[in-house]
Amino acid sequence: MRREFSDAIEKLALQDDKIVFITGDLGYNALENLQEKLGNRFINAGVAEQNMVGLAAGLAYKGFKVFCYSIAPFIVYRCWEQFRNDVCLHNLPVFLVGNGGGYGYGIMGSTHHAIEDIAGLSSLQNVKCWVPAFSDEVEPFLEQILKEKRPAYLRLGAGKQRGPVTNTFGSLQLLDNPAKPAGSIVALGPVANNVVAALQKEELAGKFNLFTAQTFPLTIKKEAFEIIQSAENLLVVEEHVSVGGLAQQLSVQLLEQGVSLKKFISLRAEGYPDGTYGDQTFHQTQSGLDVSNIAEKLKTFLV
């Protein structure tokens, strides 16, 4: 999604001279167009993420809308205090952009993974987290982030194109809604592409509602709860730890709405079960987020 993000920022920044872009010395072979087109509104803050967010807060206080870019673990964990105190508590238009959410940076290991980011950032005052599942969602998400002008976090990954979808119920987007579903699926981020692949299997095709969770904290409209209730079975798929993640946040709202289910299955990032590292596919498989395991879990809803 880096290329889609960079192209969209270029387009939007050329239309609005209040947009400033700051990178923490990252973005090689992806952000050169922004450096060329934005001039002095493109700032390389160096490997100094805390200072970058402090600078962004000052610029935002003076009326600018500021994007801060780095890989997800650096932009989230290293800047926590500055983002909380300088940005969120003052409700300033500073937007963190983290590339490679989840296990995106694979073999580089746990220091380069962001599997607790949504839990942490969605708990802060005034912040809204945005998680595109597909690459063609990046530009409309950026347009809405700029429109709302509040603290935000955009979690990028490697997603395919899906095409326009108009059925949205607050945080949840409904992609598939068959007449007689055997269950519902709610997926977070690009791992939704694994769900889509699983649903292409003949025995599963056309049998499940498919939602993606786009924003946090979750705000869900009544219609989505009704769809989930009617299908009776629910699978949640997320490349994020259980605590504070999609399944946990969704569970609270289901309970509050009185939604009862026959089966509830949560597939999530399990960390590092055997202490080894590999590429993103390796970690997804260890956590049961691979296409094969998703398909097996869905088959249990058909019994």
Kindly list the domain boundaries of the chain, sorted by start residue. 2-155, 168-299
DSSP state of 174: E
Residue 141: what residue type? F
For domain 2-155, which CATH number applies: 3.40.50.300, 3.40.50.970, 3.40.50.720, 1.20.1250.20?
Answer: 3.40.50.970
Contact (Cβ atoms closer than 8 angstroms) between residue 8 and residue 138: yes
Q: What is the mean pLDDT of residues 64-78?
A: 96
pLDDT at 208 over 80: yes
Q: Which residues on adjacent β-strands are paired with residue 114? A: 102
> For the domain bounded by 168-299, which CATH number is listed?
3.40.50.920
In angstroms, the CA 164 to CA 227 distance is 20
pLDDT tens per residue across span 88-125: 999 999 999 999 999 999 999 999 999 999 999 999 99
Question: Taking all residues of the chain, what is their mean pLDDT, rounded to a whole number?
Answer: 95
120-124, 163-167, 244-248 — which is least confidently predicted?
Answer: 163-167
pLDDT at 165 over 80: no
pLDDT tens per residue across span 143-164: 999 999 999 999 999 878 887 6
pLDDT at 131 over 90: yes
In angstroms, the CA 135 to CA 98 distance is 15
pLDDT at 210 over 80: yes
Strands 152-155 and 168-169, by their bridges, are unpaired
32-41, 119-128, 265-274 — which is least confidently predicted?
Answer: 32-41
pLDDT at 166 over 90: no
CA 291 to chain centre: 19
Q: What is the mean pLDDT of residues 47-59?
A: 96
Q: What is the mean pLDDT of residues 200-210?
A: 96
Contact (Cβ atoms closer than 8 angstroms) between residue 69 and residue 27: yes
Judge if 2-155 and 168-299 fold alike in CATH terms. Answer: yes
Q: pLDDT value at position 164? A: 66
